Structure formats: C-alpha cells, structure tokens
Amino acid sequence: MGEVFLDGFLDALKLLPFLFLLYILIELLEHRTAMGRAGRAITGKFAPLIGGAAGLVPMCGFSVMASKLFQKKYLTVGTLFAVFIATSDEALLVLALSSLPALEKLYSILALLGTKFVLAVGVGYLIDLLFKKRRAPLPAYDHEYEHDHDHELDHDHDHEHEHEHDGHEVDELSVCEHKHESKWTLYLFSPLLHALEVAGVVFVFNLVFGLMFYLIGQEKVIGFLQGAGYWYQPLFAAIVGLIPNCASSVALAETYAIGGIGFSALLGGLVTNAGFGVFVLFREGREWRCNLLILFAMFLLGVLVGYAAGAIEYIMI
C-alpha cells in the first residue's frame, strides 16, 4: 500500500516541472509578449512533426502540456493527436530494462518508436488538413505585439504630454519597478500555484488508479491480456491503454516482455495510451463532446493499428 502512495507522489512530482513551464508559457502567450512569435512553432506547418518528436520522450509530461495548450486553443487538434499517439509513458523504460534478448529488445524499441512517430506525424497532418478551423490565435497575438511595439517606438512623444515636470525619469522608473514586481507574480508565483494545484489533482487521481491496480493485481491484468487470444489482444490492449495512468503502459510492456502479447497488441495499446494527457483534457469539463470524440478516435486508431500490425506479422510469419 505504501508503494502505491509513493508511486503516485513521484509521478505527480515528475510532472511538476512540466506543469510549471507550461503555465509560464501560457502566461507569456496570453499577455501578447514576444513569445507569441516563437509560439508559431506549436501552430505552424511543423507543429505535428514537433509534437510527434516531443511525444517520443518516455514520460507523459508532454501529453499533459499538449492537453492544456489545446484547451487554451494554442495547439491544433492534429498536433494534439501527434503528441498523444507518440506518447508511450514509461513503456520504453520497461522494455529497455526487460530480460528480452538484446537484439529483440533493440528491434522492439526501434520499431515501436519509428512506427509511432510516422503514424503520429501522418495522422496529425491529416487531421489538421481536415479540421482547419481549429487554429490557435497566435498570429493575431504576433500582429498585436508588432502593433504595440511600433507604438512603443513613439512613446517618448506621449510621455512629453503625460509628464511635464523634472521628475519624469523617477516616475518612469517607478512604473518600470511596478511592472517588474507584477511580472514576478504573473510569470512565477501564479504559474507555480497552478502547477501545484494540477499536480495535487494528478496525485489523487493517480492514487485512485494505483489502488485499483493494487487491489486487482497487476498479475491479473497481465493474465487477462495473455488469455485474450492473439486476434483479440489488440482490442483488449487498446482498452487497457485507455487508462490514464503509467501502470497501464507498464502492464502492456511487461506483458510483451514475458511473451504474453505480440508486438501488434503492444503497439495498439500504446497508440491508445496518452498518459495523464487524457485526464487533463477532461479535467475542466469544457467541450466534453469534443474530448469524448478525441478519446474514441484514439481508441479506434489503436485497435486498427493493432490489427493491421497483427496482419502484417501473420503474413511475414
């Protein structure tokens, strides 16, 4: 029982830096800073490519960041799918530390990474092509930033009318100091509080699922996957992959490592699995129909990919 608590705490702690950076980024974007220009990277033509590459990092922090940016409409739906599809949470680490033969281990990891990346980028671009209306307003922020910047070039003329006394420099300095203090609150303390809040909710949520796995027993989950039969394994692996917890990806990887499921089932389950990103997507309850549609699409994609990979394996054998 203590391990469940410790694992839940450590998972939430690992997410905290990602959440902190995420809320800093959101503040920078929302206040139309120069960051708006750099923000084009997450909405431009390379966004699904960047999202797919970020999702390959073996941790669910990027899927959490993608969900929050998508909720704020700073991320396209295609890029969200790219991150979700590429995410494998801790499965890669489990495979790397497994007792599989070295060549089989290398083949499995490379095949998993390569397939998920190509699929993530391809699906991301396809969805963005089909749903062009779901675009982030960053170009508008850039325009307003540039517009404000042009006015700042003439601010000396405005100050001559606003300050007609010798203490002009002192007043201007006090205003700058006030802005500096507000930026500490805006870009440090506020993001930190938001990050701690979400991390706390993730800890509680993770604790609930951890207890569920503890009471059910991971051996039973592995046995369930093993007993599903070769042609049913992709379906049941995708169902397990829907659970927004690192235990699901670990169970899939461990079952594959002991020969309980084939590579096709592992691939299908990990395509469906997006870590805590799904939880964050539903947390605020906004656009829940859209969120359910995304979740169903991820599940359907995982099942189809699993069966397609299984068919290729069957033909090759």
pTM summary value: 0.74
Report the distance separating Cα 142 and Cα 35, nearest Å.
9
- Asked whether residue 156 is domain-assigned, the answer is no
| Structural domain of 110 | 2-150+168-316
Per-residue pLDDT of the chain (317 residues; tens, 9 = 90+): 677 677 777 877 887 888 888 788 777 776 655 555 555 656 678 899 999 999 998 777 788 888 888 888 888 999 999 999 999 878 888 899 888 899 999 999 999 999 999 999 999 999 999 887 555 444 444 444 444 444 444 444 444 444 444 444 434 443 344 444 467 676 677 878 878 887 787 787 777 777 776 777 667 777 777 776 777 889 999 998 998 877 788 889 988 998 888 899 999 999 999 988 888 888 766 678 889 999 999 999 999 999 999 888 878 76
Q: Within 13 Å of residue 314, how many CA atoms lie on the same side as its CB? A: 10
Written as one string, the DSSP assignment of 292-314 is HHHHHHHHHHHHHHHHHHHHHHH
Tell me how many domains the chain contains: 1
